[in-house]
Copies of this chain bind each other. A is one copy, B any other.
């Protein structure tokens, strides 16, 4: 699917039934389903096996997963996880996203402008401490503030004590809070990327489909003190790759699932939110296409965003398709009914009974808030907002600030804010005009806040004025405003700074309203989770939270429209598919592959599928065998996997990987990169 993640939310009541659905589950590394694995597959992961895999796993904070694959800091991920960085490193002269890149030596490796990679080193439960800060007699507003304060306090305390990035993660929709500690890498350099024509062979047409033929792989290297970082835990490379039928594991960071959602919440997703999001995605997709029609350079500037939008659009369409199937929704309704009946019958559970009604209420609030969006789809507006809010927030104690301005996260915040990645004024202006127009549509042209935002101008003219009058494209300007604090903000004549000030009150109001809805839902889902624990037992996994999870299942084909789909494709099939599509866009191989054809071993398995339960955010996850060796690289799910957001079954749902042996073959034969091959797994 190009599994860089999207932004939805997790564990259905039925998930919790003592019998899980086959290979279902995105398991916490501190609560692995050891018994389940042992019973189902006769394999019992040892603590050492798990720790090695956990510490070999890497999170890309732009929204993806990865793994260490050498002692010298090589990191393997997907081309499409790297694409944001490839785009940022590219220019009109050097289009690394399209044409690929290979560093002939370490000196040639290209430093990413703003990547942060995280290696998880420790997890601990802090639920009691978080919950102790929030009491039943608090208003929602007070509860939001108290929870934010205690979380920011814990994060700061652990950061100061250990130096590790410390994040408190909300699990089970609010029933548990765990502290995740990460070693952070911010000097990340590009080593190798293939051409997008082979990384994303088949393009939008084949995205989320199978069989596939994609070299969706990319290598970075992490540095410390300007030297390759020395890595203790990295994955051994299985030269032969995955084998049919074998049990494999996926260690990655699934972004969000919604399996705990109540029927009311799913109906809101089906009838309100997903249609809204899809309209917005289609709007942006067309806008980016239109911008790209202006010329080849404009097309290049828009390309990576366009990929991302198309990927999301296809993913949401699949999710919505599942929710619009009456059979899916009635299965959800039945399991919810069963739980609510159990709660009604058991006096010990009566304290949980109001949760469903509260969530039904919050859906109405969410529907109202949707049309009050304050999203301007502009990097420059975002930068100005950061600067304006940071100056104001920094005048408060860390625990009282908006979460992202707390002390613990400052380093990551500044890395983003001062990124040297190019910002294109023409593209910014085009997208901002469209976003302003969207806001007029949502609130109506007579709305007083709309009038305030437009200042008597059309969206197109207003966007032009805002872009023309800002210097925030320049990183030094951002730094100087940031250093100047509130005084620099107050005296700034930059149009974007003034715009961020103009909208700040409304932005904060909408955010606060959204946070209060989320708090009510946290309290309610916590109750539903406790009711589930009480009635169904505790060996369950929480919904995905863009934190490290373990999934598993065999390498196995599936039936689709009456036909059996084999688990493996082969390198030779790539050339056949190109020929059969007669030169259609996205089905044309790069010259490097055409030239290498005669030298390639066409029999090598290229992509494969397994039953592991994954979702957006898992992109780039290593696939390992029971020996903990790297056999594949997750890059997609099939079309049937798209309902996995709220429902997993292993009948047809499959995760799609690049086979580790195909990556080796391409590096050797197509890219003449023996020096990298020599380093892998060593």
Residues of A within 8 A of B (CB): 203-205, 267, 270-271, 275, 278-279, 282-283, 285-286, 290, 293-296, 299, 313, 320-321, 323-327, 329, 437, 440-441, 444-446, 451, 454, 456-461, 581-582, 584-586
Indicate if the CB atoms of B445 and A323 lie closer than 8 Å.
yes
Q: Which residue of B is nearest A328, CB measured?
A: B458
The docked-state distance in angstroms from the alpha carbon of A80 to that of B625 is 58
Indicate if the CB atoms of B282 and A320 lie closer than 8 Å.
no
The docked-state distance in angstroms from the alpha carbon of A286 to that of B456 is 33
Indicate if the CB atoms of A458 and B326 lie closer than 8 Å.
yes
Number of copies: 2
The docked-state distance in angstroms from the alpha carbon of A371 to that of B45 is 54
- Sorted nearest first, the 3 A-B pairs with minimum C-beta distance are A205-B293, A325-B458, A275-B441
Could you list 8 A-B pairs, sorted by A, with CB under 8 Å?
A: A267-B444, A267-B446, A275-B441, A293-B585, A321-B458, A324-B445, A324-B459, A326-B456
Q: What chain B residues lie within 8 Å of A293 (beta carbons)? A: 203-205, 584-586
Whether A286 contacts B282 in the complex (CB less than 8 A), given A267-B446, A326-B451, A445-B270, comes out as yes
The docked-state distance in angstroms from the alpha carbon of A445 to that of B329 is 9
Q: What chain B residues lie within 8 Å of A320 (beta carbons)? A: 437
Whether A279 contacts B271 in the complex (CB less than 8 A), given A205-B294, A324-B445, A324-B459, comes out as no
The docked-state distance in angstroms from the alpha carbon of A56 to that of B150 is 82
Q: How far is the CB of A449 from chain B (nearest CB, A)?
A: 14
The docked-state distance in angstroms from the alpha carbon of A269 to that of B267 is 29
The docked-state distance in angstroms from the alpha carbon of A327 to that of B323 is 43
Query: SS class of chain A's interface: helix, strand, loop or mixed?
Result: helix
Q: What chain B residues lie within 8 Å of A296 (beta carbons)? A: 581-582, 584
Q: What chain B residues lie within 8 Å of A324 (beta carbons)? A: 437, 440, 445, 458-459
Whether A584 contacts B323 in the complex (CB less than 8 A), given A267-B445, A445-B271, comes out as no
The docked-state distance in angstroms from the alpha carbon of A72 to that of B275 is 54
Indicate if the CB atoms of A584 and B282 lie closer than 8 Å.
no
Q: What chain B residues lie within 8 Å of A461 (beta carbons)? A: 325
The docked-state distance in angstroms from the alpha carbon of A582 to that of B444 is 42
Q: What chain B residues lie within 8 Å of A581 (beta carbons)? A: 295-296
Q: Which residue of B is nearest A581, CB measured?
A: B295
Q: What chain B residues lie within 8 Å of A299 (beta carbons)? A: 584
The docked-state distance in angstroms from the alpha carbon of A458 to that of B270 is 13
The docked-state distance in angstroms from the alpha carbon of A320 to that of B440 is 10
Q: Which residue of B is nearest A586, CB measured?
A: B293
Q: What chain B residues lie within 8 Å of A586 (beta carbons)? A: 293
Q: What chain B residues lie within 8 Å of A584 (beta carbons)? A: 293, 295-296, 299
Name the residue in A282, A323, A446 with the highest tally of chain B Cβ atoms < 10 Å from its Cβ: A282
The docked-state distance in angstroms from the alpha carbon of A323 to that of B441 is 11
Q: What chain B residues lie within 8 Å of A203 (beta carbons)? A: 293
Q: How far is the CB of A341 from chain B (nearest CB, A)?
A: 21
Q: How far is the CB of A289 from chain B (nearest CB, A)?
A: 8
Q: What chain B residues lie within 8 Å of A271 (beta carbons)? A: 440-441, 444-446
Q: What chain B residues lie within 8 Å of A321 (beta carbons)? A: 437, 458-460
Q: What chain B residues lie within 8 Å of A323 (beta carbons)? A: 445
Q: How far is the CB of A646 from chain B (nearest CB, A)?
A: 14
